[in-house]
Structure 1
Amino acid sequence: MAYLEPIAVVFGLLCVWFTIRQNIWCWPTGLVQVVLYIYIFAVAKLYSDVLLHFVYVGLQIYGWHHWLTGGERRSRLPVSRITHQANLLWMLLIAAGTAGVGWAMQRYTDAALPYADAFTTVASLVAQWLMAQKRLESWWYWIAVDIVAIGVYYQKDLLYTAGLYAVFLCLATAGYFAWRASWLKDRREEHTHEDGTHTR
């Protein structure tokens, strides 16, 4: 595992870098990272993370396809936002999922840090789904995941991975502002087009 973790870190950094730039290569690089971490987390007995990364495999493939064809007329997908009500529902789902998964892991397995691990699992699934939809708010969920994950992996002596998530935290913050700028630019162009249409 000693040599696999740095390799997974490199692919994870590439994945986030490409994601910030809305580059489709974020999905294949992310897929490699996910497969490597399935093994790494199994050895570390972070079972919620193992389950999470199995689901990630499907989400990576879905996101890859959706970014390419999910826009109007099957064009590339633009950045969009969710409503305040939807955001509240996602947060409630994360809270309920963390409680349920954490309790199950604590009762039925020898999982380390079951509730913190459960939070990163459930919140990451929500963040990854929103990212596959290219929702701006996905970055807020990643920021929360990164903060908790740094502590979890540091305690489990996965120092490369803890360091990776510290970098992820910075990149997620940068990603939010980059995507927000893209969203604002699209809105300005849309309004300019509408104003031009109305004046003809």
Structure 2
Amino acid sequence: MTVEDAAQQIANAWAQMSGWEIVAVILAIAYLVLAVRQNPLCWYAGFASTAIYTVLFWNVQLLMESGLNIYYMAMAVYGWWQWRHGGQNDTPLPVHTWRWRQHALVLSGIVLISAASGSLLTQFTHAAWPYLDSFTTWAAVVTTFMVARKVLENWAYWMVINSTSIFIFIDRGMYLTALLLLSYLIISIFGWISWYRDYQNHQQEQASAR
């Protein structure tokens, strides 16, 4: 496929795009940009976007993705509270890191539960890409919690998830959403840089206070 052909397919998909998907994409971009800046308003945009996507994913038979967005809505409420009150003495939550053992445990759990749910979806549903859909779903469950708790490494997790999701959405004909995930992939790099600087500053402040 040439670049011109790909561009034409995207243009055709845009013409056929529902207004709701366009709104969801705009809100999703707003969510991530605000998250990079650690602005609690990101959770309002995230809640609205995921509510729309819950229905859209169900309509294209991405059942795990649809269920995931219900979880996202709950985490939007949790994340808003944590960012404002999750620090010591009811202060805003600072950026922090997990140890490598925590990551090893989490990654092992994601692989195992993805294999199990992928197998169940294959046997009992007509879900598209059951194993990949399961992987991106369960990985996103953990990573969204990491965002809500301001764990620095969440950005690395999102890079892997978004790269995989781009392929799935192109296959399902959701080209605008695939472009959204591509923008997420790029913004995640800036998110890592921004949060890492904030983490370093917080560590220096703690060291100076001792």
Confirm or deny a common fold (TM above 0.5). yes
Which amino acid is 2:63 matched to? Y
What TM-score comes out, normalization by structure 1 length? 0.95
Structure 1: which 5+ runs fail to align?
A: 195-200
Contact 1:130 1:138 in 2 (8 A): yes
Which amino acid in structure 2 is aligned with residue 22 of structure 1? Q
Q: 1:34 aligns to what SS in structure 2?
A: helix
Letter in 2 for 1:69: H
Deviation, 1:92, is 0.4
Instruction: Answer yes or no: is the 8 Å Cα contact 1:38–1:49 preserved in 2.
Output: yes
What is the CA deviation profile of residues 73-110 of structure 1, one whole-angstrom value per residue up to 9, with x for unaligned ones? Answer: 10100000111100101100110121011111111110
Q: CA deviation at 1:187?
A: 0.7
Q: Does 1:141 align with 2:157?
A: yes
Kindly report structure 1 stretches of 4+ aligned residues shifted beyond 6 Å. Answer: none
What's the secondary structure of 1:77's corresponding residue? Answer: coil
What are the equivalent positions in structure 2 for 1:2-151 lying under 5 Å apart?
Answer: 2-151=18-167
Displacement of 1:173 after TM fit? 1.4
- TM-score normalised to structure 2 length: 0.91
Q: In 2, distance between residues paired with 1:31 and 1:141?
A: 21
Distance apart, 1:69 and its partner CA: 0.5
2:189 is matched with which residue?
A: 173
Distance 1:178 1:121 in 2: 26
3-state DSSP of counterpart to 2:160: helix
Secondary structure at the aligned position of 2:151 is classed as coil
8 A contact 1:126–1:141 mirrored in 2: no
Per-residue deviation, residues 129-164 of structure 1 (Å, max 9, x unmatched): 111110001111111110000000011000010000
How many residue pairs align between the two structures? 194
| Structure 2: runs of 5+ lacking an equivalent | 1-16
Structure 1 SS opposite 2:71: helix
SS of 1:118's equivalent in the other structure is: helix
Alignment of 1:154 onto 2:170: yes
Q: RMSD over aligned Cα, in angstroms?
A: 0.8
